[in-house]
Amino acid sequence: MNKPKVFILDPFHPEAIKKLQATPSVELVRRNDDRVSKWRAEADALMIRSETRITASDIEQTSKLKCIVKQGVGVDNIDLDAAERRGIAVCNTPAMNSESVAELTIALALCVARRVVEFDRRIRGGEAIVRSQVLGLSLFKKTIGIVGMGNIGSVVARKWIGAMEGDIIAYDPFASAEAWPDIKHRRVSDLNELLKEADVVTLHVPLTKDTRRLIGKSEFERMKSEAILLNCARGGVVDEDALLHALEEEKIHGAALDAMEVEPPTAKAYPKLLKRGNLIITPHVGANTLENQIASGMKVVETVLALLEGREVPNRLV
């Protein structure tokens, strides 16, 4: 009897690869294997990350595929409807990224507020900076508005309270009224209320038809002139043209984006945005810590093996 084939289409940490290699019940086809292009015909299971898109056409061409397991939370790169029609299980790794993405969120907030990256660029460019002319902002006891208080947003809230002793405003229309009883916060039902009051606005929502361009021109108009916008969620949640205008007109203090509509972000894709000193762009690396990559990769492997053995998993989406 042939062993089920697990195809790995994206980079995974070597520890996760070792775990699969040590599993005698499956055959592993790695991304650098010449056979990897045959996954539609031969794969019983797929391991992917955000780099690979699985379209309806891909899924319709499969003949043996039982499951797709993605490292990370967002699954907008997988056609879930097509997978459901074919009875293919789709899973992610929820909550695994929470600590690492929350860490980056806090780090970016501080870097924008204290103009860390801007100063570094200017010094490297040969400028002699006059300290009295380049004031940053303190985040101590400031208010953070968290849009989407799920696994990541709630961790950001706890870290903010611990580090900044600041207040939390939460906007999440999908969470129950009893959510986050252990976090001191004020919940609002209107996003505009959060935008008007928050010193830092941080986004932790999936990209859907409802969240696309969630933050646009009118939203920037409502924010404080010294506010900071953070997006460590998904590209497309922020209207990037509106953001450029807000930064150019100094309608907000600054912004940091770990998620862009064009990824990886390049100077060719973003010639104007990358000229803004009050903007930091990182290449969607919120989950990229050594510890998290090992743990998340292992979780993907465990989920794949469970599904191939016919066991139920709690992180199944379809």
Mean pLDDT of all residues in 36-52: 96
DSSP string, the chain: -PPPEEEE-S---HHHHHHHHT-TTSEEE-TTSGGGGGHHHH-SEEEE-TT--B-HHHHHH-SS--EEEESSS--TTB-HHHHHHTT-EEE--TTTTHHHHHHHHHHHHHHHHTTHHHHHHHHHTT----GGG------TT-EEEEE--SHHHHHHHHHHHHHH--EEEEE-TTS-TT--TTS--EE-S-HHHHHHH-SEEEE-----TTTTT-B-HHHHHHS-TT-EEEE-S-TTSB-HHHHHHHHHTTSSSEEEES--SSSS--TTT-TTGGG-TTEEE--S-TT--HHHHHHHHHHHHHHHHHHHTT---TTB--
How confident is the model at residue 236, as a pLDDT? 97
- The pLDDT of 163-176, averaged and rounded, is 97
What does the pLDDT average to over 212-228?
Answer: 98
Same domain, 45 and 150: no
Q: Please say if the pLDDT value at position 262 is more than 80.
A: yes
State the catalytic residue, choosing from 263, 276, 302, 316: 263
Active site residue 263: yes
For the record, the structure tokens of 205 come out as 């929502």
pLDDT over 80 (residue 261): yes
In this structure, what token pair is assigned to residue 264?
């990886």
Residues 108 and 88 grouped into a single domain: no
- Over range 152-162, report the average pLDDT: 98
Question: Based on the domain organization, do 133 and 276 belong to the same domain?
Answer: yes
Q: What is the residue-averaged pLDDT of the chain?
A: 96
- pLDDT tens digits, 94-132: 889 999 999 999 999 999 999 999 999 999 999 999 999
In a domain, 37, yes or no: yes
Q: Which of 242, 137, 179, 121 is nearest to 231 (CA)?
A: 242
Residue 262 within any structural domain of the chain: yes
Q: Does pLDDT of 43 surpass 70? A: yes
- Residue 284 bears catalytic tag: yes
Give yes or no: 99 in active site: no
Backbone angles phi, psi at 148, to 5 degrees: 100, 95
- Average pLDDT score over residue span 226-250: 97
Decide if pLDDT at 198 tops 70. Answer: yes
Q: Taking residues 31-51, what's their average pLDDT?
A: 95
**pLDDT greater than 90 at residue 74:** no
Residues 92 and 106 in one domain: no
Asked if residue 166 belongs to a domain, the reply is: yes
The pTM for the full model equals 0.90
Range of the domain at 149: 98-281
Looking at residues 62-78, what average pLDDT do you find? 94
156 with 169, same domain: the answer is: yes
Predicted confidence at residue 2, as pLDDT, reads 87
Q: Is the pLDDT of residue 1 over 70?
A: no
pLDDT at residue 213 in the model: 97
Q: Is the dihedral of CA 275, 195, 257, 80 positive or negative?
A: negative
Same structural domain for residues 32 and 107?
A: no
CATH of residue 214's domain is 3.40.50.720
User: Do residues 108 and 79 share a domain?
Assistant: no
In a domain, residue 133? The reply is yes
User: Is 286 among the domain residues?
Assistant: no
The answer to whether residue 20 scores a pLDDT higher than 80 is yes
Query: Which residues are bridge partners to 121 per DSSP?
Result: none
User: Are residues 300 and 187 part of one domain?
Assistant: no
**Domain membership flag for residue 28:** yes
Q: What is the pLDDT of residues 130-143, one digit of tens each?
A: 999 999 999 999 99
Q: Mean pLDDT lowest for which of 173-177, 199-203, 241-245, 250-254?
A: 173-177
In a domain, 198, yes or no: yes
72 and 161 within one domain: no
Give the list of residues 6+ apart from residue 266 with CB closer than 8 angstroms, or none.
none
Q: Which of 13, 49, 234, 253 is catalytic?
A: 234
Q: How many domains does the chain have?
A: 2
One domain, residues 87 and 221: no
Q: What is the pLDDT of residue 94?
A: 87
Give the count of beta carbons closer than 10 Å to the beta carbon of residue 181: 7
Kindly state whether residue 209 falls inside one of the protein's structural domains.
yes
